[in-house]
Structure 1
């Protein structure tokens, strides 16, 4: 019984040891790629070649190619797909071509690469699911050529019992000829003298000279386009076509500049990766901004056309539905602007394909800027939201007559951040939307433009109200600005010790016309009373006793305060000048 039991235990131990050895091999294979040999045709790498970590490998490659030591830089390429003879013949050439591709095609930030030999993910903020894991293949950049995307990668390799090293991956080496054809030296650069290729800082000497010329040429094309559109505007007949061409002069000039700059970058000149990346972002933003602004200008032109056809002059004499339509059109314009801005932002983000390098820096800067702008621009954001609130609730409409802070004004325009009011004397009030909606105001055109006006006269108690009522109706019906004659009214609305308050009510088609009719009818009533019944004016009775007469107190000596209207004394003065005693 012992012999079978011992044999069974030996088999279990052997299986466990084999499983542990297999797991150890699998763990090692996950840390590097095993190969038979590395660049056998290049010989031993020189001492200045550092391939221990991804960061060291890429930095060493860039430094050696910057020193034009392409033979040493070839040791940082995995030439697995080439024979030893081809490795010796083409290694330096491929290193030079890849260096030029990286210089023009991508702005590499090697500080983002891992400084560990196993490239373990240490910071799990962006890769929380991979924190603590080792890596053996990393992406440096993604470049496009002939409509295809190619990745530049570094990977970790181990040949036999040698220490593992980091090299440019073979799939990247295979794509170098196509990438070099796309990102290699331009026609202009290939014909420049050698002394102009001297590096000064991050750029070569010829780039420092070419960039100002590049900017001057594109600026000149923009100026020419702007001037040409000006001539076209003046040659067109007055109308919407000339208005539209005038509004798109500036964005069209910027679009022409961006198109020319992109053409020069594609076929004439090729700058380094840092300059190309910066110019690429700027050109994308300019193109998107220009096209978006032209779209907004087109909407503005159509808005002007529809306003002239459907609404006409902006005032509250127009039908309520027409004023509501015009307000909706302005709200539509703001919605188009908002959608255009969102589309432009999404387009820019989608087009910028290098967020792993400069893109992330730009996004980080944009995030900080967004926070700062958000804090500083709370008032602007509040005005924008208030503008949409006004447009949706229709509390006011274009053309409404409002009384805002004792100012009679027409609502002339509602914009994102402010409302433009036109006063009766043709002044313009620019009021922030948030401030406007936070203050009480009177909308005289909320339902219709018709408005009641009241004439108030203070007369003597002897005034005949029936006669005044008839005359008021006669005068009011003779005025063109008075409507709804059946609503004309006259009432005694107050009584005092010696006077009565008579109120007359009339209605006008709109506020200004009603005010004018009120003034004219008041003039006629005053003239009627003055000419036919002066005794109806308010007057005060002065009572003098014999004691007052004895001491010489007369109305001339006693200053009697009277209303602003014509007044009389009950007892007129006698021919001798002294008032008679009552």
Structure 2
């Protein structure tokens, strides 16, 4: 009977202590979080309750399983399993605590910062730092687990002796992986590209959705995801529309007839922009940028606060101006001239001087 009660009492006691400590820790953190709502650290640390309980319970069982007589015929196996679980739980707890600290620091910085570009830069760095810490802790935990086996400890000297050769072989074999790894670190701390940036890569326009140590995900305007190695952004040119400031200048081109009333069109453009919320009011213009024997090229210049607004603004201006020309000045639309240009009676609203017959030359059929 004692051989049954002792193991049960040790296991039950460990569970009771674990649950009690976990409840007390969660209660204390919740009270602190209520008193200091401006600091998200305490709420984030509450996520560490489960790994803390696993560490505590495993440590208690690891220290008392021999005296309790838990599976006395398999003490070595039980001790080895508990040791492995304890190492894994400790790594889990360390990762949770590190992530909580990093996320809390970022949240406080983002709440005070006014520069959106700098916030995106810090977010990118925080994300990569979190991944690096997780990877390092996992590697250390796995190495610690392997070293608990006697065979691995015996082979440790030979492994260290051949570490130089293995490192060279691994470096050659994983050359592209290492290149992407260092490129990821360069992106994180070199401010090349950040999460949320608007970029153009290989002719595709999109936003950076995720950055890891080896690859980067760009979400295009039509909701496709393009996954690219991070080394692309350190070895090839690409467009970053929001690196220092998301404000943009856009253009709309029109191919029109030479008789187009540019002054009226300019006034119409200004009136349209005043009523469009996408226009930020910084700048605008409408000028003739090129001419051909049959048409002129008119450029409307617009400004907006970001890439989304400039795209909407360009589409609306293009649509409204073409509709205005079609409705009120149809003679300004491009056409093939097979006769002399119309006179003032056919274009009463024009302010520019109409072309004369001498400028046009003899009409068709004349000599």
1:164-563 alignment, distance < 5 Å:
249=50, 253=54, 256=57, 260=61, 263-265=64-66, 267-268=68-69, 269=71, 275=76, 280=80, 283-308=82-107, 310-311=109-110, 319-337=116-134, 340-341=137-138, 344=141, 358-361=152-155, 364=158, 377-485=174-282, 487-542=283-338
C-alpha separation between the residues in 1 aligned to 2:224 and 2:54?
A: 35
TM-score, normalisation: structure 1 = 0.44
Residues 363 and 453 (structure 1), Cα distance of their counterparts in 2 relative to 1, 3 Å cut? farther
Alignment partner, residue 360 of structure 2: none
C-alpha separation between the residues in 2 aligned to 1:424 and 1:304?
A: 29
Residues 457 and 292 (structure 1), Cα distance of their counterparts in 2 relative to 1, 3 Å cut? same
Residues 259 and 503 (structure 1), Cα distance of their counterparts in 2 relative to 1, 3 Å cut? farther
C-alpha separation between the residues in 2 aligned to 1:431 and 1:252?
A: 40
C-alpha separation between the residues in 2 aligned to 1:449 and 1:345?
A: 44
Question: What displacement does 1:360 show?
Answer: 2.0
Q: Please, what is the CA RMSD of the aligned residues? A: 4.6
**Structure 1, gaps ≥5 residues long:** 1-186, 189-216, 544-579
Alignment partner, residue 155 of structure 1: none
C-alpha separation between the residues in 2 aligned to 1:329 and 1:245?
A: 20
CA deviations over 1:199-225 (Å, ceiling 9, x no partner): xxxxxxxxxxxxxxxxxx9xxx9xx99
Determine if contact 1:262/1:283 at 8 Å carries over to the other structure.
Answer: no
Larger helix share, 1 or 2: 2
Question: What displacement does 1:386 show?
Answer: 1.4
Residues 405 and 305 (structure 1), Cα distance of their counterparts in 2 relative to 1, 3 Å cut? farther
Residues 451 and 525 (structure 1), Cα distance of their counterparts in 2 relative to 1, 3 Å cut? same
Question: What displacement does 1:398 show?
Answer: 2.5
C-alpha separation between the residues in 1 aligned to 2:290 and 2:240?
A: 29
SS in 2 for 1:540: coil
C-alpha separation between the residues in 1 aligned to 2:116 and 2:99?
A: 23
C-alpha separation between the residues in 1 aligned to 2:48 and 2:222?
A: 30
Question: What displacement does 1:249 show?
Answer: 5.0
Aligned residues: 313
Which has the greater radius of gyration?
1
1:28-47 alignment, distance < 5 Å:
none
Residues 255 and 542 (structure 1), Cα distance of their counterparts in 2 relative to 1, 3 Å cut? farther
SS in 2 for 1:506: strand
Residues 375 and 253 (structure 1), Cα distance of their counterparts in 2 relative to 1, 3 Å cut? farther
Residues 353 and 542 (structure 1), Cα distance of their counterparts in 2 relative to 1, 3 Å cut? closer
SS in 2 for 1:476: helix
C-alpha separation between the residues in 2 aligned to 1:389 and 1:271?
A: 54
C-alpha separation between the residues in 1 aligned to 2:250 and 2:105?
A: 34
Question: What displacement does 1:490 show?
Answer: 1.7
Q: Which has the higher relative contact order, 1 or 2, with Cα contacts under 8 A spaced 6 or more apart?
A: 2
Residues 411 and 359 (structure 1), Cα distance of their counterparts in 2 relative to 1, 3 Å cut? same
SS in 2 for 1:518: helix
C-alpha separation between the residues in 1 aligned to 2:174 and 2:210?
A: 22
Determine if contact 1:252/1:290 at 8 Å carries over to the other structure.
Answer: no
SS in 2 for 1:440: coil
Question: What displacement does 1:248 show?
Answer: 7.1
Question: What displacement does 1:272 show?
Answer: 7.9
